[in-house]
Amino acid sequence: MSDLPLDLRKLLEDRARQYTTEHLESLKDGKGTVKLRLKCSDGFVVETVILEDKTGRRTACLSSQAGCAMGCAFCKTGTLGLSRQLETHEIVEQFLHARKQDETIGNIVFMGMGEPLVNFENLMKAVRILHEPSGCGLGYKRITVSTCGLSEGIERLALETPSVRLALSLITADQGKRESLIPAARTNTLPRLKKSLLAFQKEKESRITLEYVLLKGINDGRDEVRKLLEFIRGLDCLINIIPWNPVKGLPFERPESVRTEEFVRALRSEGISVTRRMTRGVSINSACGQLGGIQ
C-alpha cells in the first residue's frame, strides 16, 4: 500500500496482525482429511478439520469452544472440560486458515470442539460474517450447526437466526441410555427435544440431520431401531449413522460392519432416509468424537 506514509507502513508492519490465531501444524491422513491445530493468543489450542465426502465435496469442521463442558461419554473432547468460549474472530479465522489449505471448501459444519449453542452470540456473529458477500460469501444453507441437544438453543436458533441447517447428536432414542451417554439429556428430555425440533422444522422448513453414533452392544439393537422410529415420527429428517471412532481410555467399541449394515437396513426398510458416515481421519485423531486427542 504505497499510498500510505512510510512511517505508518512501518508501524503497521511492526504491530498489525492479520490473524490472532497461529497455525501450528497440519496433519493429513492420505484420504483427503486434514486436521489443523491452531493456537489462540492466550495459548489454548483448538482443532479444525477439513473433510471430503465421496463426491469430492470439501467441508470445514469448525470449533466453537476451547474444550467442552458437555461431558458426552463417547467423545474425547468431552473429557477435556471447558477452557473458554471462542471469540467470533477466532471462529472465523479457523475457516480462513482452512481456506488457505484448500480454496475449494464450500461448506461449514460446527461440529468441532465444543457445543455451539452454548456460545450462541459469538457463533451467530461468525455465521453472518461467513455468509456476508464482503466476508466469505457462503450461503446459509451451506452452514450447519450441530448440537448435543440443547432444547432452548434449538428454539432460539429457529427464531433468531438465518436459515442455517441443524444437526442433532441423538445417539439413542432411549431416555435412560441417553442420560448415561449425554449428561445434558437429563434436562433436555426426548419429549422436550422433539418439541424443539418440530419448532425448528416449522420455522425453517428444513430437513434436520440426526446423528447416531453406533456403540457396540449399547444402541445397535432392534429395540433401539423401534424407539428411534417412534421418536422421528412427524419429523422430516435424515439419519446419519456413525460407527463409533476409537478413543483411547473410553469404554466403548465400534460395532462390526455386519451389525452396522443390519441397523441401516432396518431403518431403510421402514422408508427412512439413512446415510452411513465414511470413516475418515482416525489415524490423525480427526474423526467424529476424537478432537483433542494426543497425536
Give the active site residues.
47, 288
By the 10 Å C-beta count (0-12 exposed, 13-18 middle, 19+ buried), 178 is classed as buried
Give Dmax over CA atoms of the chain in angstroms: 73
Spatial separation of the C-alpha atoms in residues 195 and 103, rounded to whole Å: 39
Strand partners, 168: 147, 210
As a whole number of angstroms, the distance between CA 139 and CA 226 comes to 36
What's the Cα-to-Cα distance from 83 to each of 52, 65, 115, 140, 162, rounded to whole Å? Answer: 29, 8, 12, 29, 28
As a residue count, the chain comes to: 295
Residue 245 backbone zone (phi > 0: left; psi -120 to 50: alpha; other: beta): beta
DSSP codes, 74-143: T-SGGGTEEEEEPPHHHHHHHHHHHHHH-TT--EEEE-SSS-GGGGHHHHHHHHHHHHSTTTT---GGGE
Distances (CA, A) of 214 to 46, 202, 243: 26, 29, 5
| Per-position DSSP letters for 200-218, written without gaps between them | HHHHH--PEEEEEEE-TTT
